[in-house]
């Protein structure tokens, strides 16, 4: 682009029909005959994108062959009966040969990753992170079928923390049917064998929106609970305490202050923790704060 023409960057627009960069302030053509790097075909419906495209999807860790594979398709209008019969045989051969004997275990594991992540409603970035960890783990150790759910639960939990997705251990344990001891042991093994960096902790404030939604508390209660947690964190009152218990106690205090009262039992059931945990974290807050209520 011509650097001699003084035109603010935000004023430069691109005309895809003419292949020109134009200054919106002066109308000057800064560059013309720009090479269009997009497809040479046009899309008139969502189906056209898949029919006309000649490339596959992006590389992904969620598929054993990284998503780089060949598919043999059959167009009935273009082939004779004999050619279609031959094409179907090639399809069967390709499907059988796509999975090498050594990849069968990996295929089974990645299938479980995608299925469980979908049940938990997790985004693609969590699925990719989990699949990457499971791939590395398979290279290090041999995972037997009874151990698979333990390592999968641990990988999902760690991936959620790395991607800042507020999922509690209880939610993951419930879906996969593992206990807390199995989960923490698998987490320790993954950290020893796979991870080379510290896994960030989930902040209590990140759990507030989901917990408040399950308890049907309004936005003002969420805001007040976030303020309480920020103050508690500032004075190190949250150090060494479970994030879910802190979030539940902060919501309990905020609900009382804003006259949206919930019992400790309701809060505990909504957070899937014990009433004792809510009560202890509640005491930590009220005994260390001076709370002014303006009527």
Please tell me the predicted confidence (pLDDT) of residue 54: 67
pLDDT band at 168 (very low <50, low <70, confident <90, very high): confident
Report the pLDDT value the prediction gives residue 79, as an integer from 0 to 100.
73
pLDDT at residue 1, as a whole number: 41
Percent of the chain with pLDDT over 70: 87
pLDDT at res. 2: 43
Residue 112's pLDDT is what?
92
Residue 149 confidence class, pLDDT cut points 50, 70, 90: very high
| DSSP reduced 3-state for 20 | strand
pLDDT tens digits, 37-69: 767 667 777 666 666 666 666 778 888 777 777
Quick one: which of 263, 149, 279 has its CA closest to 215?
263
Q: What is the pTM of this model?
A: 0.65
**pLDDT tier at 3, thresholds 50, 70, 90:** very low
For residue 156, the model assigns a pLDDT of: 94
Can you tell me the mean pLDDT for 256-267? 88
Which residues, 6+ apart, have CB-to-CB distance to 288 below 8 Å?
A: 232, 235, 237
Q: Is the pLDDT of residue 231 over 80?
A: yes
Q: Which residues contact 286 (CB under 8 A, 6 or more apart)?
A: 253
Distance CA 274, CA 12 (A): 60
State the CB neighbour count (10 A cutoff) for residue 280: 13
Question: What is the pLDDT averaged over residues 129-155?
Answer: 91
Tell which residue, 246, 197, 251, 199, has the closest CA to residue 224.
251
Q: Is 260 exposed, middle or buried (0-12, 13-18, 19+ CB in 10 A)?
A: middle
Reduce the DSSP state of residue 259 to 3 states and report it: coil
Give the DSSP H/E element, type plus range, for residue 268: helix 264-271
Average per-residue pLDDT in the chain?
83
147-172 exposure pattern, b = at least 16 Cβ within 10 A, e = fewer = ebbbbbbbbbbbbbbbbebbbbbebb
- Cα 155–159–160 angle (5° rounding)? 120
What's the rounded Cα separation, in Å, for the pair 166 and 178? Answer: 19
Alpha-carbon distances, residue 156 vs 19, 60, 134, 146, 159 (angstroms): 46, 17, 10, 17, 5
Three-class secondary structure of residue 162 per DSSP: helix
């Amino acid at each position: 682009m011509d650097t001699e023409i003084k035109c603010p960057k935000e004023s430069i627009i691109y005309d895809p029909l003419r292949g020109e960069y134009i200054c919106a302030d002066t109308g000057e053509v800064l560059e013309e005959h720009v090479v269009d790097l997009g497809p040479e075909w046009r899309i008139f419906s969502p189906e056209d994108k898949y029919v006309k495209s000649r490339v596959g999807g992006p590389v992904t860790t969620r598929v054993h062959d990284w998503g780089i594979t060949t598919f043999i398709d059959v167009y009935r209008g273009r082939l004779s009966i004999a050619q279609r019969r031959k094409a179907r045989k090639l399809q069967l051969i390709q499907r059988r040969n796509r999975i090498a004997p050594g990849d069968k275990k990996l295929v089974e594991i990645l299938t479980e990753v995608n299925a469980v992540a979908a049940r938990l409603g997790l985004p693609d970035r969590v699925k990719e992170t989990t699949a990457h960890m499971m791939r590395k783990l398979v290279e290090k150790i041999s995972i037997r079928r009874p151990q698979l759910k333990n390592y999968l639960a641990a990988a999902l939990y760690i991936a959620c923390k790395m991607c800042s997705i507020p999922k509690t251990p209880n939610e993951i344990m419930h879906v996969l049917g593992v206990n807390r001891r199995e989960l923490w042991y698998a987490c320790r093994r993954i950290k020893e064998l796979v991870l080379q960096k510290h896994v960030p902790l989930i902040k209590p404030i990140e759990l507030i929106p989901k917990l408040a939604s399950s308890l049907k508390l309004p936005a003002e209660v969420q805001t007040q609970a976030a303020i309480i947690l920020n103050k508690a964190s500032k004075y190190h009152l949250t150090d060494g305490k479970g994030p879910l218990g802190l979030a539940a106690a902060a919501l309990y205090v905020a609900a009382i202050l804003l006259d949206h009262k919930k019992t400790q039992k309701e809060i505990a059931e909504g957070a899937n923790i014990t009433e004792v945990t809510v009560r202890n974290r509640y005491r930590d807050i009220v005994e260390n704060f001076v709370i002014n209520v303006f009527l």
